[in-house]
Amino acid sequence: MSREQAILFYDADCPGCRLFARIILAADVERRIRTAPLDSAEADHVLGRMSERQRFGSYHLVAGNRVTSGAEGMGPLLEQARLLRPLGRLVRRSRAARAAAAGAYRFVARHRGKVAGFLPLIRLPR
- State CA 30 to chain mean position distance: 17
- What type of residue is 43? A
CA distances 67 to 22, 46, 76, 113, 115, Å, are 20, 9, 10, 25, 27
Tens of pLDDT, residues 47-68: 989 999 999 989 999 998 899 9
Q: For 77-89, how does the pLDDT look when each residue is reduced to its tens digit (9 = 90+)?
A: 999 999 999 999 9
pTM for the whole thing? 0.83
Which residues make Cβ contacts (< 8 Å) with residue 89, sequence separation at least 6? Answer: 75, 79
Closest CA to 125 of 25, 14, 10: 25
Contacts (Cβ under 8 Å, ≥6 apart) of 120? 15
